[in-house]
Amino acid sequence: MGEAAAGNQALDYMQRMIKGDAPGAPIMQTLGMRMVQAEVGHAVLEMEVGPHLANPTGTLHGGVLCDIADAAMGATYITTLGPGESYTTLELKINFMRPVRQGKIRADARMLQGGRTIGLVECRVLDAEQRLVAHVISTCMTLRGEQAQGRAVGRNEPAAAGVAGRSPQSD
């Protein structure tokens, strides 16, 4: 894991997002996600959900839960990286614990283990009553050198923090 400094570019960008001075990633804007907390190794996103995001049975589509968790875990992981480093998600596993139909959901992600190349991030998605809706684990890989080129947070402002990169095989 890289040296995450107070001047961490990703963390600075996320702080600007929280203040409303920088846009979220396009997927965050599309789904209405808001970054509400960011620090090294921890990020929290929230969003309002309702019938417009429902699956055929009328509950929140599981892909939306994956999206908010993935965004929170990516934001968490990238805050731990050093200059010139980026990341990609290698694996994401989600356990759906209870249905949600509408209201606010909150994705609270934290680093469980960081290493030089591979890290493990956990996310708990909670409903408005603070009940566990989903438990998510992600394995991320740190990219350096040529693999990290063109993946800077805020590089083109709409591509903000929290978006998992392409797989290493697609590079």
Torsion of Cα atoms, 37 then 38 then 42 then 44, to 10°: 30
In this prediction the pTM is 0.84
In the predicted structure, residue 62 carries a pLDDT above the cut 70: yes
Q: How many residues are there in the chain? A: 171
21-30, 41-50, 149-158: least confidently modelled range? 149-158
- Of 7 and 18, the one with more pLDDT: 18
Cα–Cα distance, 141 to 49 (Å, whole number): 30
**Residue 163 counted as domain residue:** no
Q: Is residue 45 part of a domain?
A: yes
Task: Determine the average pLDDT of the residues in 123-150.
Answer: 93
Q: Are 114 and 76 in contact (CB under 8 A)?
A: no
> DSSP string spanning 55-105?
-TTSSBPHHHHHHHHHHHHHHHHHTT--TT-EEEEEEEEEEE-S---SEEE
- Give residue 37's Cα distance to chain centre: 12
Q: Residues 75-107: pLDDT tens digits?
A: 999 999 988 888 999 999 999 999 999 999 999
What is the tally of structural domains in the chain? 1
On the question of pLDDT at 7 being above 60, the answer is no
**Is 170 inside any structural domain?**
no
Task: Answer yes or no: are the C-beta atoms of 146 and 86 closer than 8 Å.
Answer: no
Percent of the chain with pLDDT over 70: 84
Confidence band for 29, pLDDT divided at 50, 70 and 90? very high
pLDDT at site 154: 56
Tell me if 32 is assigned to some domain: yes
pLDDT at 152 over 90: no
User: Looking at the domain assignment, is residue 158 inside a domain?
Assistant: no
User: Please, what is the average pLDDT of the chain?
Assistant: 86
Q: Is 122 a domain residue? A: yes
Which pLDDT value is given to residue 145?
81
What residues make up the domain containing 53? 9-150
Task: Indicate if the pLDDT at residue 47 is higher than 80.
Answer: yes
**54 secondary structure, DSSP code:** B
CATH of the domain at 44: 3.10.129.10
Kindly state whether residue 164 falls inside one of the protein's structural domains. no
Report if residue 155 sits inside a domain: no
- Rg of the chain taking only CA atoms, in angstroms: 15
